[in-house]
Amino acid sequence: MTRFALTLEYDGRPFMGWQRQNHGPSVQQALEEAVFAMTGERTAVHAAGRTDAGVHALAMRAHVDIAKPVAAFRLMEALNALVRPRSVAVLACTVVPDDWHARFSCLARAYEYRIVTRRAPLTWEAGLAWQVPQPLDADAMHATAQVLVGRHDFTTFRSAHCQADSPVRTLDLLDVARDGERIVVKAAARSFLHHQVRSMVGCLAMVGMGRWSCDDLAEALAARDRARLGLNAPPDGLFFVRAVYP
Amino acid sequence: MTRFALTLEYDGRPFMGWQRQNHGPSVQQALEEAVFAMTGERTAVHAAGRTDAGVHALAMRAHVDIAKPVAAFRLMEALNALVRPRSVAVLACTVVPDDWHARFSCLARAYEYRIVTRRAPLTWEAGLAWQVPQPLDADAMHATAQVLVGRHDFTTFRSAHCQADSPVRTLDLLDVARDGERIVVKAAARSFLHHQVRSMVGCLAMVGMGRWSCDDLAEALAARDRARLGLNAPPDGLFFVRAVYP
């Protein structure tokens, strides 16, 4: 049995998310079926993060154990040829030790959230960014975002379906930068709660619209109450961009 | 009758190109039908450039004459609400003098061509860039591109279906820049021949692969012979980015 680490890019639009679901296609299932088509082996593919429906990845990390002797490069080429829908690509594949685990060995994760502020609907970028029809004050968003950086109870920013034992997380970075009508929010932490990035981005957008002050955000955080969430941003603009390992 | 200038973004994937066709959807038809749905008027929408099937636009310029009294902002909003498929968006709309013509008043046009050099297929960017499975020498491509800048007979780089009276064009700019695995080619001229940008990019890719020298490109240009074309790049990576008016 050989363990392979995969670096994956995917377009989240056709999927119900990373994790296998009974009610629709998932990235995990697409990859597991490509592995089966190549090796005849039914084996699980584990990822660093279980992204939601419609969320994308530029460089998700995952691992899979395969009994059939196969070179890493050949495995990558075969998975790229066999995976369906073709909205998943294996960018890199390497052999790793048996104790390397895409999820449990991961030391840090980073996401990027893309916003386009304009009245006109998106065309080629539809589903790949959040279109907000008014201008947003990115400087105010960035300044306010720093309230969330550090170790906090993020109950307000956590989905009701979150299965994590604790709502406490340490947010290492939350940066907001603007380039014309485009705003990118970068977030990094050891791990995130379910919907945490989208919930933080949604509340920062409230700040950017001038509907929330910095104090409103601080109070929402301190309340530790999901009902105090200002806005949950749609999955469209969210990209998993990096997983860090020892 | 009021003449409106439109700034358009579109995703070229669902279309047979800008121009109305009997055999499939076009950007022109999509807009003309949206104008009809709003005003009841059958009127032509004219563009600065007639892009091919699968070619995109970040800021195409166009004009349309409308008899019904309507404010420019209201027209923009209505077209964005009515246009189908939703792969076209009106970014801006202004009233212009009756002698302003999107095509004939245009002094300069600019295109951008996006290449991604990697083995893995594209996912969210499929149809929005040309995936080339080997590295390309972008410095060699940029240096060689300068051979094409200036006033030349571009017969070699012109489609057999090109309807222009003369194959002579003055290319003002042809820049190649690399950022990691991404290469962007920028081209600017008063006007271009049919397939000219894709043909120039295809030949520059031959140079980037090391299959063509700078002399090969110069000889292909001097030959004024379509049969000497090295490679025509696919429409996927081509974006119309700018039209300049007095």
- Per-residue pLDDT tens for A168-183? 999 999 999 999 999 9
Give CA–CA dist B198/B156, Å, rounded.
12
Contact A177, A183 (CB under 8 A): yes
Give a yes or no: residue A200 inside a domain: yes
Annotated binding residue A111: yes
- A-chain CB neighbours of B88 within 8 Å are 123
Q: Are B124 and A128 inside 8 Å of each other by CB? A: yes
B128 touches chain A (CB under 8 A): yes
Is B179 a known active-site residue? Answer: no
B9, B121, B124 member nearest A56 (Cβ): B124
DSSP assignment of A76-90, as one string? HHHHHHH-SSTTEEE
CATH code for position B92:
3.30.70.580
Pair B87, B137 in one domain: no
Q: Are A123 and B90 inside 8 Å of each other by CB? A: no
Residue-wise pLDDT for B210-243, tens only, equals: 999 999 999 999 999 999 999 999 999 999 999 9
B76, B88, B123 member nearest A10 (Cβ): B123
Residue-wise pLDDT for B19-44, tens only, equals: 999 899 999 999 999 999 999 999 99
Residue-wise pLDDT for B162-210, tens only, equals: 889 999 999 999 999 999 999 999 999 999 999 999 999 999 999 999 9
- pLDDT, position A158: 95
Mean pLDDT of A202-231: 96
B3 pLDDT exceeds 90? yes
How close A183 gets to chain B, by Cα (Å)? 18
- pLDDT, position B40: 97
A2 pLDDT exceeds 90? yes
Per the structure, the count of domains in chain A is 2
Average pLDDT, chain A: 97
Mean pLDDT of B41-48: 98
Looking at chain A, which residue has its C-alpha nearest residue B87? Answer: A123
- pLDDT, position B183: 98
One-letter amino acid for residue B21 of the chain: Q
Pair A149, A197 in one domain: yes
Give a yes or no: residue B221 inside a domain: yes
Residue ending a domain, among A75, A96, A117, is: A96
Residue-wise pLDDT for A135-154, tens only, equals: 999 999 999 999 999 999 99
Q: Are B77 and A119 inside 8 Å of each other by CB? A: yes
DSSP assignment of A8-58, as one string? EEE--TT-SBSS--SSS--HHHHHHHHHHHHH-----EEES--PBTT-EEE
A215 pLDDT exceeds 90? yes
- Spatial neighbors of B132 by CB under 8 A, at least 6 apart, are B115, B116, B117, B205, B209
A:B CB pairs within 8 Å: 62
Residue ending a domain, among A64, A96, A128, is: A96
Give a yes or no: residue A102 inside a domain: no
Q: Are B123 and A11 inside 8 Å of each other by CB? A: yes
Pair B129, B222 in one domain: yes
Residue (of B150, B146, B154) closest to B220 by Cα position: B154
Pair B184, B73 in one domain: no
A181 touches chain B (CB under 8 A): no
CATH code for position B149:
3.30.70.660
Q: What percent of chain A has pLDDT over 70?
A: 100
- B-chain CB neighbours of A90 within 8 Å are 120
- pLDDT, position A85: 95
Residue-wise pLDDT for B66-109, tens only, equals: 999 999 999 999 999 999 999 999 999 999 999 999 999 999 99
Residue-wise pLDDT for B106-157, tens only, equals: 999 999 999 999 999 999 999 999 999 999 999 999 999 999 999 999 999 9
Give a yes or no: residue A101 inside a domain: no
Pair A90, A123 in one domain: no
Mean pLDDT of A205-230: 96
Pair B120, B170 in one domain: yes
Q: Are B89 and A9 inside 8 Å of each other by CB? A: no
Pair B112, B38 in one domain: no
Residue ending a domain, among B96, B119, B143, is: B96
Mean pLDDT of A119-129: 97
Pair B7, B115 in one domain: no
Pair B224, B132 in one domain: yes
Domain that holds residue A236: 108-244
Which amino acids of A are annotated catalytic? 52
Give a yes or no: residue A103 inside a domain: no
A53 touches chain B (CB under 8 A): no
- B-chain CB neighbours of A121 within 8 Å are 80, 86, 89
Give a yes or no: residue B140 inside a domain: yes
Handedness of CA A37, A38, A44, A47 (dihedral sign): negative
Pair B57, B163 in one domain: no
- pLDDT, position B177: 98
- pLDDT, position B160: 87
Q: Are A120 and B10 inside 8 Å of each other by CB? A: no
- pLDDT, position A107: 98
